[in-house]
Amino acid sequence: MRILSWNVNGLRACARKGFASWLAGCGAEIVGLQELRARSEQLPAELRAPVGWHAHFSPAQRAGYSGVGLYSRRVPDALDTTLGQPDFDAEGRLQLARYGRLVLANVYFPNGSGAARDNGRVPFKLAFYRALFARLEALRRAGQRVVVLGDFNTAHQAIDLARPAANRGTSGFLPEECAELDRWLAAGWIDSFRHFEPGAGHYSWWSQRGGARARNVGWRIDYVLVSAEALPYLRGAFIDTQVTGSDHCPVGVEVDPAIYG
């Protein structure tokens, strides 16, 4: 079965570019969305309650900002949206959905860029990474098969962005951000895409300026990580660069339905 993730950069805007048709034809069992920038009551009915899907949305307190959404063919056994820290929870960045022994974390990780276009939010971003890591590690210890998908807002290695040398001082490729992803992988998390594809030139986000997408000058910042417990059920991973409608494209995995347990 297919599990997909997509930062839609505003769900209402993406809807005007064909999102509903994409959802109907994507062939997925579960779809996690990030950066919705809307509350559920602001969405048209075909997005708020699409036929054949269970839908859940977790908006930010601040209007027009952040927010995550989850569509699944199967109703979750449990669903949580909190890390227990008010500053994180206010931004609508997390959905933890349990389906049997599968726990799916749909996450919109913070960007480290501050309001002054500096790296002022990097400490907040790294603290969010660490708080989520602790929460997910506890689920692993409890025997759950955990899949973490979303916009991680970090290119892990030089191979994951087109211009690494020019961006060493930019949030999204700072050494301390890359080191945080190193820590996750060292703890046994698997970058599903790199599990199958070691090569360069694969990106999931492109600037909307200068024809970056047409020239494939991008960053791979959208991931699906699987825990070691979920790895035996992983069958494939992909980046769907043909899908437009956002400055990101969908990423996803193919897994054996037995992952539900």
- Catalytic residue ranges: 151
With helix as H, strand as E and coil as C, how does the chain read? CEEEEEECCCHHHHHCCCHHHHHHHCCEEEEEEECCCCCHHHCCHHHHCCCCCEEEEECCCCCCCCCEEEEECCCCCEEECCCCCHHHHCCCCEEEEEECCEEEEEEECCCCCCCCCCCCCHHHHHHHHHHHHHHHHHHHHCCCEEEEEEECCCCCCHHHECCCHHHCCCCCCCHHHHHHHHHHHHCCCEEHHHHHCCCCCCCCEECCCCCCCCCCCEECCEEEEECCCCHHHEEEEEECCCCCCCCECCEEEEECHHHHC
